[in-house]
Amino acid sequence: MGHDATRYYDKPADQKQIIDIDLTGLPKDFDDARVKEVANVKHVISSEINYDNFLGHCKGDGRVKIRLNEGETVEIVRANFIRAGYQVKSHVEDPRKKPAMTGPGKDDTSSKFMSAKERRDYALQTKAPVVF
């Protein structure tokens, strides 16, 4: 018989932990499905394995986000990757990296439907005309 998911709803949410790790030393045939197998965890949130798009091989590094459930610890997950022969380190965001900006685009989005001459004329026109 299947498991009853409702028994997990009453547990406090602070028991869940998300880890973000960088992996290096991955073989050429490594893929996203192998991440869950090697980590030996229930929930892999995301895995970003760097591939060479031309050859279709893994470049040897990647980033993995994992949600730890009860009985799973950071040390166990790290040990699983190290036991498989991969280097593991905690992911650190680059503070110099600019965040992706969302919001309204530039005002010239309609220019993609213009010809080259119309686009040039639009770019050269004064945005706020001044009356003399």
Can you give the pLDDT of all 132 residues of the chain as single tens digits? Answer: 556 666 666 666 555 788 899 999 999 988 888 888 998 888 888 999 999 888 888 898 999 999 888 888 889 999 999 999 999 988 877 777 666 666 555 555 555 677 788 877 777 776 666 665
Distance CA 97, CA 110 (A): 30
CB 77 within 8 A of CB 39: yes
**Cα–chain-centroid distance for residue 87?**
19
Q: What's the pLDDT at 65?
A: 92
14-90: which CATH topology?
Alpha-Beta Plaits (3.30.70)
Residue with tokens 């990647």: 62
Is residue 65 packed enough to be buried (19+ CB in 10 Å), middle (13-18) or exposed (0-12)? middle
Q: Please state the domain extents for the chain.
A: 14-90
